[in-house]
Structures are given as structure tokens and as C-alpha cells.
Amino acid sequence: MSLALSVFTIVCVFLGAVFFLAGTLGLLRFPDTLTRLHALTKADNLGLGLVVLGLLPQVDWPLGALKLIAVWLLALLAGATVGQVLGGAVRPPPVSGAGESTP
């Protein structure tokens, strides 16, 4: 049982690391800010999420696990907000008249 949990941890953390690697590659190679943000948020959301998921069987239940999940949720909140703010900063403001009704 503990072997299965260890394998689960290794697989999940490895997959998370793959997402971080892919996100970093995207950050370095993608052509403009919006696509780079896209790559970066994938690393934050899925990469960190998989690492946290993989570490869950290795920590105390429930306090340690709840802390890990809280870290992931806070990173999600911060990452999503920073993505929005940066995206809004680089995107040209909508042309007047066309902007208001279309989301």
C-alpha cells in the first residue's frame, strides 16, 4: 500500500515538473505577452496542482493536507489575478463604441 502511494507521489510530482518545464519553455519561446501568460498560468495551475496532489499522501491528515491545498488555492488566486492584470496592461484598450457591449 505504501509502495503504491509512493509510486502515486512520484508520478504526480514528475508530471507536475513536466508542466513547469513546458510552462518555462513557453515563457521563453512564445511570441507575445498574452501567449506567454497562457503558458505560465498552465505551470501554476496544473503543475503546482499535480505536485500538491502527489504530496498529499505523504503529509499528516488533515492539517498538513489542508495546508498544501490552501497553498495551491492561494497560488491559483494570485496567478489568475496577475494574469488578468498583466493581460489588461498589455492589451490595447477597446475602441470606443465597440467595447461596452461585447465582453
CB 74, min distance to another protein, A: 7
CB 82, min distance to another protein, A: 9
Give the cell for residue 87: 493581460
- Grid look-up 519561446 returns 29
Q: Enumerate residues 6+ apart whose C-beta is below 8 A from 30.
A: 36, 38, 39
> Could you tell me which stretch among 9-17, 18-26, 57-65, 73-81 binds another protein (CB under 8 A)?
73-81
Binding residues (CB under 8 A) for another protein: these are: 74, 77-78, 80-81, 84-85, 88
